[in-house]
Chains A and B, each alone.
Chain A
Amino acid sequence: AQKITQTQPGMFVQEKEAVTLDCTYDTSDQSYGLFWYKQPSSGEMIFLIYQGSYDEQNATEGRYSLNFQKARKSANLVISASQLGDSAMYFCAIGTDNMLTFGGGTRLMVKP
């Protein structure tokens, strides 16, 4: 079975600063994918970024980057230059065996 742990239930960040959201995972599979999703207060789930277990480079998508440390089984999301619109729930997920397993989420609040 796969497990995702997000240890920060809530975080504050000042607008324009960078923030790191933690995610650790546990799996016995050698091939897997790591995903981050954003859920604003409106409720939709928005895909942000993906990292494959065999990818040697950390994934980046605009202001989002994934700090992948395979030996430590961590896949932290870094958001640079935070914006007020980044205030939302953020979910980390691991993809194996045709399915995603999600963590409990981190609520990020951006202060003006």
Chain B
Amino acid sequence: DAGITQSPRHKVTETGTPVTLRCHQTENHRYMYWYRQDPGHGLRLIHYSYGVKDTDKGEVSDGYSVSRSKTEDFLLTLESATSSQTSVYFCAISAEPYNEQFFGPGTRLTVL
């Protein structure tokens, strides 16, 4: 199994609070991704990174920011959480953009 961990695995927070999710990899892969999964929508890309300090927006980036200061860590921040951001968040990694992506176990976030 690819070495990808996500923390926390579960989080309940209140509207308006900041939240940071962490993705950590031990594979030294260049590309890292954050997705959200909601019923009826499959997985949608939030942001991705193609190297340290190199990031770009995905399909549903509004309300989210990311940072990558080290190859192994990719952080997703919700500056002020809203109930519409209640979702399951997956991190993924890949060695090259057209290679298969390997996914972390997911983080279930509930915003009350």
Contacts and interface: CB of A to CB of B under 8 A. Distances in A.
Interface of A: 31-33, 35, 37, 43-45, 47, 50, 52, 91, 93, 95, 97-105
B45 A101 contact: yes
Interface of B: 31, 33, 40-45, 48, 50, 56, 58-59, 88, 90, 92, 97-103, 105-106
Contacts of B88: 43
Contacts of A91: 42-43
B100 A50 contact: yes
B101 A43 contact: no
Given A91-B42, A99-B33, A105-B42, A44 B103 contact: yes
Interface class of chain A by DSSP: strand
Given A95-B97, A104-B42, A43 B105 contact: yes
A33 B100 CA distance: 9
B67 to A, nearest CB: 18
Contacts of A31: 98
Nearest to A47: B100
A101 to B, nearest CB: 7
A104 B103 CA distance: 17
Given A43-B106, A44-B103, A98-B50, A52 B45 contact: no
Given A98-B48, A98-B50, A102-B44, A47 B101 contact: yes
Given A91-B42, A93-B43, A103-B42, 16 more contacts: A35-B101, A37-B103, A43-B105, A44-B103, A45-B103, A45-B106, A98-B48, A98-B97, A100-B33, A100-B43, A100-B45, A100-B101, A101-B45, A101-B59, A104-B40, A104-B41
